[in-house]
Structure 1
Amino acid sequence: MTNLNRRSKKQVIAAVTVAALSVGALAGCSNSGADDADASEDTSANKTVDWWTWNPDQAVVGDWVDLFNKEHPDITINYRYIAFDDYANALRLAITTPSGPDVFGLNYGPMADQFGSAAIDLAPLAEENIGADWQDQLLGEDQLRVDDKQVALPWMVTGGGTLWYNQTVFDEAGATYPTNLDEWKKTCEKIEAIDKTCFTQGAKSSDFNRDIYVAIMNQISPGIVWDAAAGEVPFDSPEFIEGFEAWKSLFDEGIIEDGAFGLAQYPDAYDEFNRGEAGMIALGTWNNSNMTKAARDGNVETYGDVANDQVFTSGAFPTVVDSPMATDILRVGPDIAWAISEESDAKEAAWTFIDWLTTSDAAQDKIGSTLQTPALVSAEIDRSDLVDPELQNPALDSQATAMADESGSGSFPNADIENALYQALASTATEGLSAEDAAKSVQAAIDAS
Structure 2
Amino acid sequence: MRGTTMKSTKILLALAATAAVLTLAACGDNGASAGGSGGDGGDGEEVNLTFATFSPDQEPAIRQILDVYEEQNPGVTVEIQIIPWTDYWSTLQTSTAGGTGPDVAWMLGAKIGAYIDGGVLLPLDDAFEASGLDIENYPEQLVDLFVDDGTTYALPKDFDTIGLWYNKALFDEAGLPYPTPDWTWDDVITNAKALTKPDGSVYGIGAPMDPQATYYNTIYQAGGEVISEDGTTSGYDSPEAIEGIKFWTDLINVHHVSPTLESFADTESVAQFMSGRLAMLTTGSFYAIRFANDEYSSQNFDVTELPAGAQEATIINGIGNVALASTEHPEEAAELAVFLSGEEASRISSETGTVIGSYAGTEQAFVDAFPQFNLQAFLDQAENGVVLPVSRNTDAWASREGEFLTPAWTGEQTVEEAAAGLAAAMNEALAQE
What is the TM-score with the length of structure 1 in the denominator?
0.74
Distance 1:83 1:168, change over 3 A: farther
Contact 1:229 1:446 in 2 (8 A): no
Distance 1:141 1:331, change over 3 A: same
Contact 2:164 2:304 in 1 (8 A): yes
For the pair 1:316 / 2:305, whether they are aligned, the reply is: yes
Deviation at 1:364, TM superposition (A): 1.7
Contact 2:137 2:359 in 1 (8 A): yes
Aligned partner of 2:314 among 303, 308, 330: 330
The CA distance in 2 between the partners of 1:270 and 1:234, in whole Å, is: 28
For the pair 1:411 / 2:389, whether they are aligned, the reply is: yes
- Number of the residue aligned with 1:15: none
Equivalence map 1:298-447=2 (5 Å) = 298-300=293-295, 306=296, 310-318=299-307, 324-327=309-312, 329-334=313-318, 336-361=319-344, 363-371=345-353, 372-382=355-365, 383-388=367-372, 392-393=373-374, 396=376, 398-406=377-385, 408-413=386-391, 414-430=394-410, 432-447=412-427
**Per-residue Cα deviation, 1:348-383 (whole angstroms, up to 9, x for no partner):** 33233223222243x221122145432212434224
Contact 2:54 2:88 in 1 (8 A): yes
2:97 is paired with a residue whose SS is: coil
The CA distance in 1 between the partners of 2:126 and 2:161, in whole Å, is: 29
Aligned partner of 1:213 among 212, 215, 218: 215
Aligned partner of 1:145 among 126, 144, 147: 147
Deviation at 1:88, TM superposition (A): 1.3
Contact 1:112 1:144 in 2 (8 A): yes
**Per-residue Cα deviation, 1:142-191 (whole angstroms, up to 9, x for no partner):** 1212454322111111123x221122332234333453455434534554
Equivalence map 1:171-250=2 (5 Å) = 171-177=172-178, 179-193=183-197, 195-200=201-206, 203=209, 208-221=210-223, 224-227=225-228, 230-231=231-232, 235-250=236-251
What is the aligned-residue RMSD (CA, Å)? 3.2
Contact 1:244 1:438 in 2 (8 A): no
> Partner amino acid for 1:142?
D
> Which 5+ residue runs of structure 2 have no aligned equivalent?
1-27, 35-39
Contact 2:219 2:245 in 1 (8 A): no
- Number of the residue aligned with 1:282: 282
Equivalence map 1:285-296=2 (5 Å) = 285-289=285-289, 296=292
Q: Give aligned-pair identity as a percent.
A: 19
Distance 1:75 1:174, change over 3 A: farther
The CA distance in 2 between the partners of 1:64 and 1:275, in whole Å, is: 32
Deviation at 1:214, TM superposition (A): 1.2
1:57 is paired with a residue whose SS is: helix
Deviation at 1:50, TM superposition (A): 1.0
> Which 5+ residue runs of structure 1 have no aligned equivalent?
1-28, 37-41, 301-305
Deviation at 1:234, TM superposition (A): 5.0
- Number of the residue aligned with 1:10: none
Contact 2:127 2:338 in 1 (8 A): no
2:157 is paired with a residue whose SS is: strand
For the pair 1:75 / 2:60, whether they are aligned, the reply is: no
Contact 2:122 2:334 in 1 (8 A): no
> Partner amino acid for 2:402?
Y
The CA distance in 2 between the partners of 1:157 and 1:30, in whole Å, is: 30
- Number of the residue aligned with 2:91: 90
**Per-residue Cα deviation, 1:51-89 (whole angstroms, up to 9, x for no partner):** 111135376244344344343353222111122232212
The CA distance in 2 between the partners of 1:242 and 1:249, in whole Å, is: 10
The CA distance in 2 between the partners of 1:122 and 1:141, in whole Å, is: 12
Aligned length: 379
1:142 is paired with a residue whose SS is: helix
Contact 2:405 2:419 in 1 (8 A): no
**Per-residue Cα deviation, 1:226-250 (whole angstroms, up to 9, x for no partner):** 3277236754232223333333212
1:241 is paired with a residue whose SS is: helix
